[in-house]
Structure 1
């Protein structure tokens, strides 16, 4: 009998269901096939995805970024190029904006839909890093630290912030927040493990803001 639902996981396993499972049942099936305990899962980053993107799909989504690599010069060109390369190396999919923690999902029928077709469930362990990208000198992964703000992380990655007052923080859940980072508006907000801190880059010759394209792209990231 042909399965109605196929769910892939972070380790490449495929789970087949003859009847569409409820979301909670699907999550628990994947969880107990990967871990001995639900406590090992980092729920802020757990996600349900319609698909995992191919290299071509990622390049298509990053066309506004690729355009900046072509039209910019000097240091800005190099920063856009570094950003483009870093984004291509991330695992990306079409993320559904839904909390998949079984304790929440089982509260009602609305939060526990049936899954029919092909899906991907990502259940990562707790990350030990944050990722810094954008208008900085040293983009890349940095060790996560307790009670450390975006402004503090950026001091490690950028010699100067070029007068920018805000940075974007994309949380492990995919939700993006604007964090003040200047001396005059600085407010402390802790950064969750697995977050991305993005300092927007200057743009030119485009009707579309590629910085917004970057944020949309990062919202769909899969944390391994």
Structure 2
């Protein structure tokens, strides 16, 4: 290993035209193909919280990268031991992430012209613009688990970025008039955070998306009749969508949730 520093068409038609090649479903499927042992490309990993790049002369496995990154982290005054919040990005697939973001932005711009969705679409455009996104590999980043199960310990040929994070004390809220960071409370459910945010819920608000810090995404009931009583982890995000039965709006919600899971900064 080497270290180096470092407007006339109907709304539905317009939404269809804006739906580009990469949906969140395609993104998820692509994640399953990143362990190809036939590659002989060396591994390079930029540690985003340090001015350090890990360089190897051959592909190495994920656990080795995490071990070396942890060693570097020991030299830091900050504690980055919250593996649930670690984030691994494949640099070579950044164009696919950019394509997804462009598609989401174009569809939201169309919705912002509709009086029924103008407020939430405009708010989401502002909120999503504040972040940078990367092609995140949603995989277990707990070294103890990787040592016990080699099927979760893939080779990493190519270039990556790895963010080691400490345990945050907040939960983020998207889809409200302004993005909010709320203090994390153990045992609180999504509905508790919405009450704290004084979010003006309507009868249509029956579901929310929960994006956990490890990148997993779940659509969950939040109304009195379907409340699944699911709690975010520290650093998680709650996204309130359009709560529409329209297939294209549901796909847009899923794509937005995927983008939120891929936030880099």
Question: What is the TM-score of this pair, normalised by structure 2?
Answer: 0.71
Cα RMSD (Å) = 3.1
1:41 maps to 2:81: yes
In the alignment, the residues of structure 2 paired with residue 164 and residue 203 of structure 1 have an alpha-carbon distance, to the nearest angstrom, of: 9
Equivalent of 1:144, from 177, 184, 193? 184
Bigger strand fraction: 1
Q: How much does 1:67 deviate?
A: 2.5
What residue ranges of structure 1 are gaps of 5+ in the alignment? Answer: none
Equivalent of 2:118, from 77, 90, 106? 77
Q: Is the 8 A contact 1:65 1:214 kept in 2?
A: no
Distance 1:82 1:62, change over 3 A: farther
Cα distance per residue 1:100-150 (max 9 Å; x no partner): 21111112432222222111222111111111111x344322121221110
Match of 2:37 in 1: none
Q: Which has the higher contact order (CA 8 A, sep 6+)?
A: 1
Cα distance per residue 1:142-184 (max 9 Å; x no partner): 1212211101111233122343212110111111122221122
1:23 maps to 2:62: yes
SS in 2 for 1:86: helix
Q: Is the 8 A contact 2:191 2:222 kept in 1?
A: yes
Match of 1:221 in 2: 263
Equivalent of 1:177, from 204, 218, 222? 218
Bigger helix fraction: 2
Question: What is the TM-score of this pair, normalised by structure 1?
Answer: 0.83
In the alignment, the residues of structure 2 paired with residue 142 and residue 177 of structure 1 have an alpha-carbon distance, to the nearest angstrom, of: 20
**Greater alpha carbon shift after TM alignment, 161-170 vs 145-154:** 161-170
SS in 2 for 1:94: coil
Match of 1:125 in 2: 166
SS in 1 for 2:152: coil
1:189 maps to 2:230: yes
Distance 1:4 1:187, change over 3 A: closer
Q: Is the 8 A contact 1:68 1:204 kept in 2?
A: no
1:64 maps to 2:64: no
